Amino acid sequence: MALSRNLLDILACPKCVREPGCTGELEYDEEKQQLICRHCKLIYFVKDDIPVMLIEEAMPLKE
Ligand SMILES: [Zn+2]
């Protein structure tokens, strides 16, 4: 099962959402079950269809 569009719309990067002028918009990688923040370059994991929106649990994005 994938995350619903509605859920994705309300999810935001907990780090970036505090920054002025930043929405904390996340990109969903359905295949890897990850949510990617392009602003602060962090990857949030999705465990059992539940997004883990914790900065401590996030992984740095390598490009
Ligand atoms: Zn972020």
Looking at residue 20, its pLDDT comes to: 93
Question: 14: domain range?
Answer: 5-60
Kindly report the CATH number assigned to the domain that includes residue 41: 2.20.25.10
What's the CA angle centered on 8, arms 6 and 10, to 5 degrees?
75
Measure 28 CA to ligand 1 centroid, in angstroms.
Answer: 13
Q: Is 15 left (phi over 0), alpha (psi -120 to 50) or beta?
A: alpha
Looking at residue 1, its pLDDT comes to: 62
**Count: domains in the chain:** 1
- From first to last of its 63 residues, what are the pLDDT tens digits of the chain? 678 989 999 999 999 999 999 999 999 999 999 999 999 999 999 999 999 999 999 999 987
Instruction: Enter the pTM of the model.
Output: 0.89
Looking at residue 3, its pLDDT comes to: 87
What's the CA angle centered on 57, arms 11 and 63, to 5 degrees?
80
Measure 36 CA to ligand 1 centroid, in angstroms.
Answer: 8
Looking at residue 2, its pLDDT comes to: 76
